[in-house]
Amino acid sequence: MDHHLQDHIDFCYQLKWDGVRILCHMSAGQVRLWNKRQHERTIQYPELQNLPRYIKGSTAILDGEAVVLRNGKPSFPAIMSRDRCLSVTRAAGQKPLHTVEYMIFDLLHLDGQNLTGLPLAERHRLLEDRFYPSESFHLVEDFAQGTLLFAAVKEQGLEGIVAKNRNSLYHPGKSHRDWFKYKNRQRCQAVVGGYLRSGSQIKSLLLGLFQGEQLVYIGKAGSGLNDRERADLAQELPKLNMDSSPFINLSRKARDVNFVHPLLVLWVEFAEWSDDLRLRDPVITGFSSQPPEECHLTDLSD
């Protein structure tokens, strides 16, 4: 099977959840959590301490994604906000803003037995036999037809799908050809908070989204603008110039960077969010009449 999406009898297809990859280590009724970089995340997701109620076994290691669902769709900025800030909110005695759910797609150890040498289909069978779904814990569903699933993903504006070889063993890391990701490009409305020049030309725009009343920098984009749009921006943006940065997380002013009052809104298409909340492979697709203060980091539905 190559990298072009096609239905294949040896593969199953799953939704790609736009969340944080989390390994759950369950033992003696306690749960410890680790992200894909092997950094502990136990304190960030206290809801996952309830996992032993829904697993038939004394010890287990599960692989899955922690997600925040907003209007039925996963929000990567929302889960990253929890991933970074929960310890601060807990220390302040505040309730977390978003409820986390755990999407389980693999079972690696069970009752002291290492399952990573078993085929994926067998690991899934054991997981289905030992797991009880609940409101916060879900078993990721397998589909036989990836082409139909991807069409539905595109229609719903979801992140993408993963194709997995049913006979594959569990391989940590990315250097294998048993799992393939097929991503649906996303889009959002972003606020222009600055620009970079190359001589008299606009090179790229600095983009942000509001979190409360604060503008968060999410990256820069220049692709997608035609010559006329660049000329118009070069004439109009300097009228909005300001001395200080409008972004809460971008204060230094590099050479050829100009900050502007955040009044202009654009449509941006992008591949995905990076872990540090930057748009990957952004392309500007148009201008928007959306009020800038309504472009929120944790509410990215169209």
Longest pairwise C-alpha distance within the chain: 67
**Is the per-residue pLDDT at 92 higher than 50?**
no
Cα–Cα separations (whole angstroms), residue 73 to 204, 278, 294? 30, 19, 19
Q: For residues 213-234, give the mean pLDDT.
A: 94
Q: Which amino acid is at 41?
A: R
Positions marked active-site: 16
State residue 88's pLDDT score: 44
pLDDT tens digits, 161-170: 999 999 999 9
How much is the mean pLDDT over the chain? 89
State how far the Cα of 60 lies from the Cα of 123, in Å rounded to an integer.
Answer: 12
Q: Residue 35: is its pLDDT beyond 80?
A: yes
Contacts of 190 (CB under 8 A, 6+ apart): 207, 208, 209, 218, 265, 266, 268, 279, 295
Is the pLDDT confidence value at 216 over 90? yes
pLDDT exceeds cutoff 70 at 90: no
pLDDT per residue over 59-80, tens digit each? Answer: 999 999 999 998 888 988 888 8
Is residue 2 scored above 60 in pLDDT?
A: no
Look at residue 3 and tell me whether its pLDDT is greater than 70.
no
Confidence at residue 139, expressed as pLDDT on a 0 to 100 scale: 96
Question: In terms of residues, how long is the chain?
Answer: 302
pLDDT of residue 77: 84
Query: At residue 301, does pLDDT exceed 50?
Result: no
Which of the two residues, 87 and 215, has the higher pLDDT score? 215
Average of per-residue pLDDT across 216-237: 94
Per-residue pLDDT for 279 more than 50? yes
Predicted pLDDT of residue 198: 85
Average pLDDT over residues 131-140: 93
Token couple for 271? 């591949």
Q: What single string gives the DSSP state of each residue in 148-166?
A: HHHHHHHHHT--EEEEEET
What CA–CA distance (Å, rounded) separates 32 from 128? 22
* Comparison of pLDDT for 180 and 176, the residue scoring more: 180
Give this prediction's pTM: 0.77
pLDDT for the residue 253: 67
Record the tokens describing residue 74, joined without a space: 């996963």
Determine the pLDDT at residue 1: 43
